[in-house]
Amino acid sequence: MTTERRPEVVDYKLPTIALVGRVNVGKSSLFNCIMEHKQAIVSDIPGTTRTRNIGNFTWRGVQSRVVDAGGLTFDENEEFEKDILNQTEKAIAEADVVLFVVDIQDGLLPQERAIAKLLHKLKIPVLLVGNKVDSPKERPLVHEADWLKLGYGEPIPVSAANGVGVGDLLDDVYKLFNKAKRRPKKVTIVPQIRVAILGKPNVGKSTLLNQIAGEEIVIASPIAHTTRETFNLLVKWNEHVINFLDTAGIRRKAHVDEGLEKIGVSQSISHMEETDVVMLLIDATEPVSNQEKILASLIDEKRRSVILVVNKWDLVEDHSEENRKEFVKTLYGMYPHLQHAEIVFISALTGFRVHQLYDVIVAAFEARHKIIDAMTMDTFMVELLKKHPPKRGGGNLPPKIYGVKQLATDPPYFQISIRAKSILAKSYVKFVERSIREHFGFVGTPISLYTKKTKQ
């Protein structure tokens, strides 16, 4: 890892619940139930959750934190089992209370005995939770004698699917929190810059997130679609709080498998729509693919601010300034609709120039919310029209611009008032857009202009 300056990971010092259990017991469903929204992907496929899901939730008017670790199999041949166990151990290390989740309908399985052996080494409280008590007929199953072999008494019955018993469970957890070093509290959430990390599989999104955090918080692997769910990382850079979202790699639609990958891709696009800035990662060692062009078009369509992040620059043989400029020229040629994008060359693996991203993110966010007052805009337009008056673009009368005013932000939106019965050439509108961007510094941010005919 590099010694370059990193942002500070935001820690509200909240008491933490860790959800631990084997695969398919419903931990992700319980996580979503506690969070009161669908953050984790829920499916019947074993190993759906690989990296920890982390979220702050509110109960009884105060906030705490919940961590959903991946499901354990204790099968060394299982893909990512070692990584998932590592993620589980990290979740336990951060916890004040562990919820050991079992499937009440399946009964006791050997994996639960192995998990119990692991948990008995802890010095923090563990509550045994019997999930999938979805109707009264399942409730007697919590009294099965086998559960006592785990050493935690009878399971607390809940149904993550319909929420039954979850409130009582949280009340039990909060009683234990009252004895912990960290206590639930009201948290003032400061405004955040929301940043989505987007790209095709294996471009280095998870590696970048780990580099930003300074530790392995998500599983990074050369296996396509390792990341299935969106992971949030909250950091502070100077006075700004940035919320990074690591998303599932997006492949061409024809190559996307039905099921988990399709859900993960859909979740990635949905989260992208909720962000301020998108970092589109591009592999410097591979030609720009059609899929990246589609992603770029999607970013433009959703009017997100954008940074083109050229990753793996350390693996390129020619690091000359001439080659870098040629690469920039090629990218702008590939993405003609993202001419406003900033381009940053990095290595997520070594940390090379990753620190440059944070100031660019802040600049793009501030540009997205920038307001140009009427007097400043009028002064700018008077000078622009003196040097570059519009040429006749059709219509009955030559075009005349009466003024330009800003109507909105996020993203910035401008209106050009022109003489009635005249037409302003599209090329000139584009010229005005570029001039406004360059003069006022709309870094990495799309701005929209439209013409309105006015009688004066």
Q: Which DSSP string do the residues of 32-87 spell out, in sequence order?
A: HHHHTS--S---SSTT---SPEEEEEEETTEEEEEEEPPPB---TTSTTHHHHHHH
Stated as kind and residue range, the H or E segment containing 266 is helix 260-273
Q: Give CB contacts under 8 A, 24+ apart, made by 263-267.
A: 263/41, 263/43, 263/228, 264/41, 264/225, 264/227, 264/228, 264/229, 267/41, 267/229, 267/230
Q: Looking at residue 452, what is its pLDDT?
A: 92
Helices 290-301 and 321-334, interaxial angle, to 10°?
A: 70
CA dist 111 and 70 (Å) reads 14
Helices 374-387 and 426-440, interaxial angle, to 10°?
A: 120
Q: Give CATH for domain 12-177.
A: 3.40.50.300
SS3 state at 343: strand
In this structure, the strands spanning 231-237 and 240-246 are: antiparallel
Task: Give the tokens for residue 386.
Answer: 């003196």
Peptide bond into 411 cis (omega under 30): yes
Q: Give CATH for domain 192-368.
A: 3.40.50.300
Residue reference for tokens 């300034």: 321
In sequence order, the 6+-apart residues with CB closer than 8 A to the CB of 156 are 127, 128, 129, 130, 142, 165, 168, 169, 172
CA dist 120 and 353 (Å) reads 44
Q: Looking at residue 15, what is its pLDDT?
A: 95
Q: Do the two domains 12-177 and 192-368 of this chain adopt the same fold?
A: yes
Q: Domain coordinates of the chain in residue numbers? A: 12-177, 192-368, 374-454
CA dist 38 and 33 (Å) reads 8
β-bridge partners, 403: 417
CA dist 359 and 338 (Å) reads 19
DSSP character for 388? S
Helices H / strands E in the chain, number of each: 11, 16
CA dist 444 and 304 (Å) reads 9
Residue reference for tokens 């590939």: 334
DSSP character for 395? B
Q: What's the pLDDT tens digit per position in 147-186?
A: 999 999 999 999 999 999 999 999 999 999 998 889 999 9
What does 174-220 look like in DSSP terms, one character per residue? Answer: HHHHTTSSS--B---PPPEEEEEEE-STTSSHHHHHHHHHTS--S--
CA dist 392 and 427 (Å) reads 12
β-bridge partners, 240: 237
SS3 state at 164: coil
Q: What's the pLDDT tens digit per position in 390-443?
A: 987 666 677 889 999 999 999 999 999 998 888 888 899 999 999 999 999 999
CA dist 356 and 315 (Å) reads 19
Q: Looking at residue 244, what is its pLDDT?
A: 92
Percent of the chain clearing pLDDT 70 (strictly above): 84
CA dist 415 and 451 (Å) reads 6
Question: Which top CATH class is 374-454?
Answer: alpha beta
Helices 290-301 and 260-273, interaxial angle, to 10°?
A: 40
DSSP character for 155? P
Helix boundaries (H) for 282-373: 290-301, 321-334, 356-368
Q: Looking at residue 264, what is its pLDDT?
A: 39
Residues of the chain with pLDDT under 50: 1-2, 40-50, 80, 221-228, 249-265
Q: Looking at residue 245, what is its pLDDT?
A: 87
β-bridge partners, 62: 59
